[in-house]
Amino acid sequence: MPLPLILALAVLLLGAGFFSARARAIVAAGGDARRLHSLPSFHGWLGLLAFALPAGGVLLLLVMAGNTAPLGVASLTLATTTGLMGWAAVLYTTNAETRARNRVEALVQIFLIFCSVIAIATTLGIILSLLFETAAFFQQYSWTKFFFGTLWRPDFRGNSDLGFLPLLWGTLYVSALALAVAVPIGLFAAIYMSEYAGPKMRSVVKPAIELLAGIPTIVYGLFALITVGPLLRDWVAQPLGLGESGASVATAGLVMGVMIIPFVSSLSDDIINAVPQSLRDGSLGLGATKSETIRQVVLPAALPGIVGAVLLAASRAIGETMIVVLGAGAAAKLSLNPFEAMTTMTVKIVSQLTGDTDFSAPETLVAFALGLTLFTITLGLNIFALYIVRKYREQYE
């Protein structure tokens, strides 16, 4: 049966369930809706749900049991029959005292709880899927060789070296460069905006810096690939003889730093604004200049929050994919030269999982091990950031 027809029939049946149950309730109250315990519409909803929930449940059970034609005539008839039985039961037991509103609200509450639990289900799904496949990987490749190996050379014929350390080094190096760019700029921008800038300037500059956060990362990746990479190569790396490639750690780090500036700047801005004015006034009253006040009073007071913001920005930098895919290259090596192409964990996850490869080979499963490590690192950083903020933050009256 074509889908629009099924949908039309479903709407028709649900509507009929609603109005019939509603009418039955009014009849049960002798034609006077005020004698009912619940508003007539709640009786209507009860009738509708009494049809829809059993029918939907039957369809779901059929799909989970492996039925390949859930919208075929047979399964639809079964579902409709079950629904009609539920609807008939409600209609039969409706009288003026039926607590229709309580029942409907209980069902809605269950739905609300179910929606909230989806967040837990997502986290569980992430952890389970990662753990499962990582376990399969570690059965084929020793975990000591993975975590302490320094050579990354996958070979799809087998006998590959899958060492994690070059990837970890690349990730940390790129993120460190990104933070080295973003933290000074973001922090000083936040200080200027919260302490020195007037309201007109704030209203222009703050959205402009937020714009940097709203630009998709693929745009930054292309920018790194076609503009920043050749620029750094032609003006810095080649004259200094440090590298020949447009894709390098410096390219990716610089562009990633630009992307992270709004994270550092807006979080720091909020934190600096939260420092009470009385502290600043006290310091100014003792004769300090504004910059001395900021350096010696405001920033120390805001320091836990700023450290938390920097850690959150670091976790964002570590998990970033598209900028490093396009800007940092695919060569896994342990080198100190920032103008060489070095790859990161996220790039390798993408490259190992997008290829026509055998899904149970260790070369493909290593991506799940990398994903689990990445997830753990970013989760750890976030929890650490929250802990620091909570433990050291100042409590003002």
Partner 1 sequence: MTDLSPSPRATSLLLPDARTRARNSAEARFRAYGFAAICLALLMLAILLVSILGNGLSSFRQTYISFPVLLTEEKLDKSGTRDIAVMKTVTTVGYMKVIADSLEQVLKDKGIDVGDLKSKDVAALLSEEAPAAIRDRVLADPTMLGQTIPVRLLASGRIDGFFKGRVTAESAAKGTKIKPEQLVLAEKLRQAGLIETRFNFAFITAPDASEKRPEAAGLGVAIIGSLYMMIVVLVLSLPIGVSAAVYLEEFAPKNRFTDVIEVNISNLAAVPSIVFGILGLAAFINFAHLPQSAPLVGGLVLTLMTLPRIIIPARAALKAVPPSIRDAALGVGASKMQSVFHHVLPLAAPGILTGMIIGLAQALGETAPLLLIGMVAFVRDYPGLPPEGFFDPATALPVQIYSWTQRSDPAFVERASGAIIVLLVFLLIMNAVAIVLRRRFERRW
Q: Which residues are within 8 A (CB) of 361 and not within 5 positions of it... i.e. 6 or more apart?
A: 156
Min dist CB 247 to partner 1, Å, is: 12
Q: Are 361 and 137 in contact (CB under 8 A)?
A: no
Structure tokens at 43: 């009786």
Among 180, 229, 227, 223, smallest CA distance to 329 is for 229
When the beta carbons of 22 and 316 are compared against partner 1, the nearer one is 316
- 385, 390, 393, 397: CA torsion to nearest 10: 150
User: Contact at 8 Å (CB) between 35 and 29?
Assistant: yes
State in angstroms the smallest separation of the CB of 84 from partner 1.
26
Among candidate residues 262, 250, 259, 158, the one with its CA nearest the CA of residue 218: 259
Minimum CB separation of residue 152 from partner 1 in Å reads 18
Cβ proximity to partner 1: between 73 and 208 the closer is 208
Nearer to partner 1, 95 or 122 (CB): 122
Contact present, 213 and 295 (Cβ < 8 Å):
no
Q: Which is nearer to partner 1, 82 or 220 (CB)?
A: 220
CB closer to partner 1 out of 80 and 351: 351
Nearer to partner 1, 150 or 230 (CB): 230
Q: Minimal distance in Å, beta carbon 46 to partner 1?
A: 14
- Least distance CB 159 / partner 1 (angstroms): 26
d(CA 357, CA 351): 11
Smallest distance, partner 1 to C-beta of residue 235, A = 14
Q: Residue 158 Cβ, how far from partner 1 at the closest point, in Å?
A: 23
Q: Among 243, 299, 244, 309, which Cα is nearest to 275's?
A: 299
Q: What is the spatial distance between Cα 256 and Cα 170, in angstroms, rounded to a whole number?
A: 14
Question: d(Cα 319, Cα 345) in Å, to the nearest integer?
Answer: 9
At position 280, the amino acid (one-letter code) is: R
What are the phi and psi torsion angles at 356 (to 5°)?
-85, 75
Closest CB to partner 1 among residues 47, 371: 371
For residue 161, which phi and psi values (nearest 5 degrees)? Answer: -100, 115
